[in-house]
Structure formats: structure tokens, C-alpha cells
Amino acid sequence: MSKFAVLFFLLFISCAQDEINPSADYVPKIAKGYVIQHTYYTLSYSPSDRQAEFAFYYLSVASIKGMQERTDDFRIDPSVKSNPVTSTSYQGSGFDRGHLAPAADFKLNLTAMSETFFMSNMSPMTPSFNRGIWSNLEDKVRENALNLGGVYVVTGPVLTNSCGTIGGGITVPCSFYKVIFKEGSNPKMIGFLLSNSGSSLPLKNFIVSVDEIEKLTNLDFFSSLSDDVEGSLEANKSPSGWNF
């Protein structure tokens, strides 16, 4: 193999790795689950709630602009240790199988797309929420990621406040959160907290500090940042620098 070919191969591997896991240091500190590392995203699975307490990933421009089509291959996550949720566990419940790591964020290749359809990545969402304001928020996160050249995303249900159960003990969350972080010389962070119901209000009405989300969930986001930077970013409630 020529020196040029070797260099190209190493560059390709490096870029591919960046797409998979640019900074494992940013994975949130878990509260009640155990970590499952998929190829393109990480989740913490709560057995008592039969769903993840968060899904964490890096949303790159390449992943948004990829050509992979939606697979809709909902299935058991083989990494769930016991009592896994099946593709039919939500049947007849009136709730959507709502993605935490959304399929449209993982168009890079077949593996990335297909892994978003593990049932561990699903949480019960009301149809008016999942197909309405939640979908709008996902669209705006992708728009911001494209504008900023990529962002980190943490998404999950607030499992400390239940609105019942379905399917043999799957917790129905009363609310969901999303945290977006852009690292760099001028880092910024923004958090959203939304009730599990439809709304026609602007997204800016649901901006909260990341500190507030941490108190509700007992999770610790981006703890590897220096204390002063983390404290400043997580106290912020301003949409300045974002397009929401």
C-alpha cells in the first residue's frame, strides 16, 4: 500500500471515529440506569421505568445531510439485560413510540439509522406532542446544528414524575427535556422542558436552565467542563446565539 493510501485510510478512520463518539467525557452521569453504548449514541436504561433516562450523541452536519432512508425496524434492544420492551408493547395504549434520539438525526448510514429503532430509545409520547411541538423542536435542533457545525444533544423523559404506566410497567413521563451544547472558544448551552402534551406556543416559552433539568432528573450534564464554565452555561436561560 502506498504512503498516500495509508494516510487516506488513517484520515478516514479518524473522521469516522469523530462521527461516532467525539467526546465520551461528555456522557451524563447516570442517576438510576445502566449505560448502553450503541455505535452512534449512548443511553442510560432504567429497568424500573423500562426506558432510557437519557440518550446522548453528537449531532454532526454529515449525519443530518446523510442519504440513509428511515428504516422503521422497531425491535428489542439486545443490550437490555432483562424484561426488554418489544415492538408491540405500546399497542393499544394510545401513546406513540417516541424517539429520544430521533431517526432524522442519524441519516449517516444504515447502522446509525437502524439503531434508533431499538425500543430502548422509545418513550411513551402523546401523539399531539410527538408529532407536534416535539417534532418542531427536533427540526430546530437540526437547524442549529447545521448553522453551528455540529452540537451535542441530550434528550430524555423526566422519570421522577410519572403520569401512569402502559405495557406492563412502562412509565409514562409527564414531561421531557432536551439539552443542546456547542463547545468551542465561545461555548453555549440551552435547555428545554416540555409537558407530554400538544402545544401551539413558541419553543422559546419552554426554555429553562440546565440546572433546573438536573434538579428534576437527578442527572449531571457535561460535568467534565470546568466548574466555572459549567456553572455559567447551566444557569443560562437566554436563547442568545441560538435560533429558537
Q: What is the set of active-site residues?
A: 99
The answer to whether residues 137 and 203 touch, using CB atoms and an 8 Å cutoff, is yes
The answer to whether residues 90 and 166 touch, using CB atoms and an 8 Å cutoff, is yes
Count Cβ neighbours within 10 Å for each residue of 160-171 and write b for 16 or more, e otherwise: eeeeeebbeebb
For residue 120, what is the DSSP state?
G
Nearest C-alpha neighbor of 35 from the set 83, 77, 93: 77
Length of the chain: 244
Structural element, H or E, at residue 207: strand 207-208
